[in-house]
Amino acid sequence: GEDVEQSLFLSVREGDSSVINCTYTDSSSTYLYWYKQEPGAGLQLLTYIFSNMDMKQDQRLTVLLNKKDKHLSLRIADTQTGDSAIYFCAEEGSSASKIIFGSGTRLSIRP
């Protein structure tokens, strides 16, 4: 079935790079997503990558996709305190009408 796995916690020092990893199961997914959820707020679409791409960069964010291993990562350069949040990896389901979310990775920033 469709499943998205990611680690629950990540702690990084302010100014370092954060790398959040995710694995998914549906090789037919056309799009893969990263969402950010700040405390008390809804999920915010951060970025997404089309499945025929290996990499997408958007300012401090870099998404890497390894289709062979079904592995997706999100790199945040120069991590700031404002980046503290839960980051959800998601894949477009096989029906292409719903998105399957992982359990989220809580990113905490230490000084």
Partner 1 sequence: DAGVIQSPRHEVTEMGQEVTLRCKPISGHDYLFWYRQTMMRGLELLIYFNNNVPIDDSGMPEDRFSAKMPNASFSTLKIQPSEPRDSAVYFCASRQGNEQFFGPGTRLTVL
- Stretch in the footprint of partner 1 (CB under 8 A) among 9-17, 44-52, 53-61, 77-85: 44-52
Binding partner 1 (rule: CB under 8 A), the pick from 104, 105, 107, 109 is 104
The reply to whether 45 sits near partner 1 by the rule CB under 8 A is yes
φ/ψ of residue 18, rounded to 5 = -105, 140
Q: Are 18 and 83 in contact (CB under 8 A)?
A: yes
Q: Could you tell me which of 32, 99, 102, 30 has the C-alpha nearest to residue 72? A: 32
What does the binding site for partner 1 look like in residue numbers (CB under 8 A)? 30-31, 33, 35, 41-45, 48, 88, 92, 97-99, 101, 103-104
